[in-house]
């Protein structure tokens, strides 16, 4: 199966006439469609400087192109689903039933909930050097043994997603983060059981200004709704 960005582009393309504007910040990129839908993707230290017309023939090896495409598909698809309830991942999944939990991408607020409930979890992160982080060279070994993985949706744009999911065995994978593309076909990938992401009010300038000013998740997430697809 093709990696998600290339697969979605092959099936749906990109309608640039439907894009109202793109907002670039230090931590996130936002695509706003003409219908007001907002889609996001984290930048993870990548500086974005492309022309929108470049996406008519995207370079799938370019993180800049992939980030804007990720945000575009987030905007296109995240508001198409009917979400029954606003749901945090910790409330939606019973993590006590797993024995080998792995978190790829350091979600600090979520870790606090695991600690509070005495649930052990191994954490990997490309950039954070907190003492709790397991060295990256051990990630493949831990992924193979995991029976559940909380996987950052930034793995889609940085093109590590497919390698990670294909390296799992009997494992439940939960995609998490504002970069999540909430399209049902994401559930077709190996062992992906649920996607947890966010939706925002149409044309919400508060969210867009926070992103433009270089602030991150904790600042704009209160203006969104946590939703899940499973």
pLDDT of residue 188: 97
User: What's the average pLDDT block by block, 10 residues per block, for the chain (230 residues)?
Assistant: 96 96 96 98 90 93 97 96 81 94 94 94 87 92 97 97 96 97 97 96 98 95 94
Task: Give Cα separations from 114 to 22, 51, 129 (angstroms).
Answer: 36, 42, 19
The neighbouring-strand residues paired with 151 are 104, 175
Alpha carbons within 13 A on the beta-carbon side of 168:
24
* Orientation angle between helical segments 63-77 and 4-12, nearest 10 degrees: 60
Token pair 């009917």 is at which residue?
Answer: 82
3-state helix, strand, coil in the chain (%, to 5): 40, 20, 40
pLDDT of residue 27: 96
The neighbouring-strand residues paired with 103 are 123, 150
- Cβ(137)–Cβ(209) below 8 Å: no
- Cβ(67)–Cβ(177) below 8 Å: no
Pair type for strands 192-200 and 224-229 = antiparallel
pLDDT of residue 143: 97
Q: Which domains does the chain have, with CATH numbers?
A: 89-200+224-229 (3.40.50.11590)
Spatial separation of the C-alpha atoms in residues 71 and 56, rounded to whole Å: 15
- Cβ(30)–Cβ(208) below 8 Å: yes
Which of 18-24's residues contact partners 24+ apart within 8 Å by CB, and which partners?
Answer: 19/52, 19/72, 22/52, 22/68, 22/71, 23/208, 23/211, 23/212, 24/48, 24/49, 24/212
- Cβ(79)–Cβ(180) below 8 Å: no
- Cβ(78)–Cβ(197) below 8 Å: yes
pLDDT of residue 126: 84
């Amino acid at each position: 199966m093709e990696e998600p960005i290339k697969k979605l582009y092959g099936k749906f393309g990109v309608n640039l006439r439907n894009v109202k504007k793109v907002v670039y910040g230090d931590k996130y990129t936002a695509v706003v469609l003409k219908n007001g839908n907002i889609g996001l993707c984290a930048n993870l230290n990548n500086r974005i400087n492309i022309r929108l017309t470049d996406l008519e023939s995207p370079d799938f090896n370019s993180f800049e192109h992939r980030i804007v495409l990720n945000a575009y598909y987030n905007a296109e698809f995240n508001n198409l689903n009917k979400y029954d309830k606003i749901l945090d991942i910790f409330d939606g999944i019973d993590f006590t039933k797993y024995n080998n939990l792995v978190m790829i991408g350091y979600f600090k607020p979520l870790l606090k909930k695991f600690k509070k409930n005495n649930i052990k979890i191994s954490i990997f992160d490309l950039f954070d050097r907190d003492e709790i982080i397991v060295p990256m060279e051990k990630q493949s070994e831990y992924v193979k043994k995991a029976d559940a993985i909380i996987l950052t949706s930034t793995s889609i744009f940085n093109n590590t997603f497919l390698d990670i999911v294909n390296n799992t065995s009997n494992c439940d994978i939960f995609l998490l983060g504002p970069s999540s593309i909430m399209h049902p076909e994401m559930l077709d990938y190996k062992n992906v059981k649920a996607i947890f992401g966010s939706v925002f009010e149409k044309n919400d300038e508060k969210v867009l200004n926070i992103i433009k000013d270089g602030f991150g998740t904790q600042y704009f997430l209160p203006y969104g709704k946590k939703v899940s697809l499973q």
